[in-house]
């Protein structure tokens, strides 16, 4: 039986942003959700801390807005910040109504009984959470809801190859996607009246990351190749506290541990964060990550330590059950001793340029969640605003799609994928070697602390890799590893080029050649436009302020 390949809406990505939009649209249209692995394998599922929202009578929208602007170091779009913050409580109540089991206060009842914690950069307790596995609680609930809807088709192990652009329309229009079915080993064309990128971030481009393996920048690379602008790609957030153990891979120790009194220590037990910022352990993530990086390099140590053992053991086990148990698996008892931690790539603050409804430069193409640059995060994301953005912006984009669908024609007949001129590769080792080389030089040259010399060295390396990958891609049949490598190399190039254009230190971008912010002019966003490249593929224009 021929499988359906034409839908009203195709959503690429199955995290909170993608599924949130799916639930918004599904009552009005047919929706296909493409996930390149299992539906649960995404950043949302592994998110521990929670969602920032104004839910306490002592808190206020203005306070949350100001905290976000302060963290963003002059590059937040205040209109977007206000929109997201003012819609946060509604998003929380909507999730609770769907059945997400948020932690509750034992001393209160009614509408305001959420247990709220505090994280870095926030002036109030406003982080609503489900113990220390908030993302898992949200993701499993959203998947359950999506599975129950007749108009939703869930396509697991489908990896987007390229977007399909209808050139017959004025300015072009996105009308579908070529997707690689990993189970069948085939690329097929899927058509839609609207396509949504909800693919998450790019942190797998670094050697050490808190993200799962799927975070390979796919949506940003797809949009760039289709002609969309990207912005502020130099602002990569490194989470200060990932568990340091050779077998722990990417396990994050939630920021809420510091929010509940955890202290960062040197190997001799000395606290050091007060030497770097008056906020101490609750300074913004860029400051804490740089402080740890500084101390590790100064002392030649492999890690620092996070200690919350002064709190009651029952409190630790009840508030951080996931972290506590995971640490025990690796031989650390956080109720009785400090645990070793290091920074790791965590979040992409830049992305595909969109408006407040999630619309990109290409008609019919939307981007929501971490893949998008909305102006919410500026030069540095404040803790727990990420899931908030996913929920609020996916609802906004979903409503816009529903409004526009009646005016949009069905997609045209799509050209089948042609692989008549390629063959099976007998050199898979090329892919694995290029993958390793890319992630290592990004970590060494484009990490927490940068220099112009390191960035230029990285650019030479990535340009060679891009040429090699393009040749390989043109001659051999597609595999998942090849698709991810192709996308990782593209986003690495965008990160490096953006970093070279910003000749100042601001937020998450810290460069020794320009160690202070440039206060001689209004802060500028770094916008890269594929339509504004010279013959050598270099940017023909300088950073722009316009959106």
**Structural contact between residues 303 and 243, judged by C-beta atoms closer than 8 angstroms:** no
Of the candidates 47, 241, 248, the one whose C-alpha atom is nearest the C-alpha of residue 130 is 47
| CA–CA distance, 418 with 398 (Å, rounded to integer) | 33
> How many Cα neighbours within 13 Å face the side chain of 502?
35
Q: Residue 339's CB: how many other CB atoms inside 10 A?
A: 26
Report residue 382 as tokens: 């404040």
Q: Transcribe 290-305 into DSSP letters.
A: HHHHHHHHHHT-S-EE
Is 285 one of the catalytic residues?
A: yes
The active-site residue out of 118, 285, 439, 506 is 285
Residue 20, phi then psi, degrees to nearest 5: -60, -45
Contacts of 253 (CB under 8 A, 6+ apart): 241, 242, 243, 306, 323, 327, 339, 341
In whole angstroms, give the CA distance from residue 534 to residue 540: 5
Please give the Cα distance from 272 to 284 (Å, whole number): 15
**SS3 (DSSP) at 500:** helix
**Contact between residue 122 and residue 114 where contact means Cβ atoms under 8 Å apart:** no
Residues in the chain: 547
d(CA 319, CA 129) in angstroms, rounded, equals 10
To 10 degrees, the CA torsion angle through 37, 39, 41, 44?
A: 150
Are 435 and 469 within 8 A, CB to CB? no
> Hey, how many other C-beta atoms are within 10 angstroms of the C-beta on 422?
13
Contact 154, 134 (CB under 8 A): no
Query: What are the CA-CA distances from residue 160 to residues 21, 199, 218 (Å)?
Result: 18, 10, 8
Within 10 angstroms of residue 532's Cβ, the number of other Cβ atoms is: 13
What is the three-class DSSP state of 179? strand
User: Which among 340, 136, 382 is positioned nearest to 241, based on CA atoms?
Assistant: 340
Q: Determine whether 452 is exposed, middle or buried from the number of CB atoms within 10 Å of its CB (0-12, 13-18, 19+).
A: middle
What is each CA distance from 154 to 32, 146, 171, 215, 309, in whole angstroms?
6, 8, 31, 20, 44
Map residue 242 onto helix, strand or coil: strand
Active site residues: 285
């Amino acid at each position: 039986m021929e499988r359906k390949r034409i839908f009203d809406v195709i959503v690429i990505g199955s995290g909170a942003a993608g599924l949130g939009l799916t639930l918004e649209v599904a009552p009005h249209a047919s929706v296909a959700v493409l996930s390149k692995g299992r539906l649960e394998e995404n950043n949302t599922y592994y998110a521990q801390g929670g969602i920032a929202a104004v839910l306490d009578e002592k808190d206020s929208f203005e306070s949350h807005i100001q905290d976000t602007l302060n963290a963003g170091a002059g590059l937040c779009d205040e209109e977007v910040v206000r929109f997201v913050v003012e819609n946060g409580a509604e998003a929380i109540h909507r999730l609770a109504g769907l059945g997400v089991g948020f932690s509750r206060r034992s001393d209160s009842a009614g509408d305001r009984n959420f247990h709220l914690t505090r994280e870095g950069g926030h002036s109030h307790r406003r982080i609503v959470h489900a113990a220390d596995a908030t993302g898992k609680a949200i993701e499993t609930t959203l998947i359950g809801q999506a599975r129950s809807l007749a108009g939703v088709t869930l396509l697991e192990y489908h990896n987007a190859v390229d977007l399909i652009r209808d050139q017959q329309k004025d300015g072009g229009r996105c009308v579908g996607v070529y997707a690689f079915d990993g189970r069948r080993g085939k690329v097929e064309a899927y058509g839609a009246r609207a396509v949504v990128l909800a693919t998450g971030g790019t942190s797998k481009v670094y050697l050490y990351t808190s993200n799962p393996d799927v975070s390979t920048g796919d949506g940003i690379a797809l949009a760039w190749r289709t002609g969309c602008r990207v912005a502020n790609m130099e602002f990569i957030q490194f989470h200060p506290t990932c568990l340091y153990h050779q077998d722990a891979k990417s396990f994050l120790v939630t920021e809420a541990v510091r929010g509940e009194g955890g202290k960062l220590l040197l190997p001799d037990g000395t606290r050091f964060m007060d030497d770097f910022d008056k906020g101490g352990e609750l300074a913004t993530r860029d400051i804490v990550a740089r402080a740890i990086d500084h101390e590790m390099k100064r002392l030649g140590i492999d890690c620092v330590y996070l200690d919350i053992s002064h709190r009651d053991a029952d409190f630790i086990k009840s508030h951080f059950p996931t972290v506590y148990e995971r640490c025990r698996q690796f031989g650390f008892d956080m109720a009785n001793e400090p645990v070793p931690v290091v920074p790791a790539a965590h979040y992409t603050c830049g992305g595909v340029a969109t408006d407040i409804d999630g619309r990109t430069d290409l008609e019919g193409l939307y981007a929501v969640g971490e893949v998008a640059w909305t102006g919410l995060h500026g030069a540095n994301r404040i803790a727990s605003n990420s899931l908030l953005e996913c929920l609020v912006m996916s609802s906004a984009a979903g409503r816009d799609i529903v409004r526009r669908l009646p005016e949009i024609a069905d997609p045209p007949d799509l050209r089948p994928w042609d692989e008549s001129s390629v063959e099976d590769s007998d050199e898979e080792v090329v892919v694995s070697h290029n993958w390793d080389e890319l992630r290592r030089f990004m970590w060494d040259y484009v990490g927490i602390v940068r220099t112009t010399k390191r960035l230029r060295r990285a650019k030479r390396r990535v340009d060679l890799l891009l040429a090699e990958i393009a040749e390989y891609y043109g001659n051999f049949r597609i595999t998942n590893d090849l698709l991810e490598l192709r996308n990782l190399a593209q986003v690495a190039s965008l990160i490096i080029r953006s970093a070279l254009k910003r000749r100042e230190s601001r937020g998450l971008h810290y460069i020794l050649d320009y160690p202070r912010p440039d206060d001689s002019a209004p802060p500028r966003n770094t916008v890269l436009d594929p339509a504004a490249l010279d013959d050598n593929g270099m940017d023909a224009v300088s950073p722009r302020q316009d959106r």
